[in-house]
Amino acid sequence: MHARFADPEPASPDSVDGIETESLEARIEAFKQNPQNMAALREALDDVLLRAETEANRRAVESQKSQQGKEKRPSKYTQCGSVHFTS
């Protein structure tokens, strides 16, 4: 049994060869001119910001809980509220 492959098609305008001939600045400007692209970009950025904010809040709560736990635990170097230094 032999596999048959279709003849290669001519490169499409958005093929790697076509992209390399266009400058990055031109591609960015073309992207920015399409309102759908910008809406998708805003949505993606909003999602990233929301996730970052959620993660920052989660870490702040964990840190606060950790600090509260440390304050409640008696230290082996403290006794009745006074500090004893050991050498």
Asked whether residue 76 is domain-assigned, the answer is no
> How many domains, the chain?
1
HEC string for 24-82? HHHHHHHHHHCHHHHHHHHHHHHHHHHHHHHHHHHHHHHHHHHHHHHHHCCCCCEECCE
Predicted model pTM:
0.49
Q: What is the pLDDT of residue 75?
A: 58
Q: What is the pLDDT of residue 67?
A: 87
Domain around 46: 35-64
Centre a 10 Å sphere on the Cβ of residue 33 and count the other Cβ atoms it contains.
Answer: 9
Asked whether residue 23 is domain-assigned, the answer is no
Asked whether residue 47 is domain-assigned, the answer is yes
Q: What is the pLDDT of residue 46?
A: 98
13-30 tens-digit pLDDT:
666 665 567 899 999 999
Residue 21, phi then psi, degrees to nearest 5: -80, -20
Q: What is the pLDDT of residue 33?
A: 96
Taking the chain (87 residues) in runs of 10, the rounded mean pLDDT of each run is: 59 60 91 96 98 97 88 61 57
Q: What is the pLDDT of residue 62?
A: 94
Contact 26, 18 (CB under 8 A): no
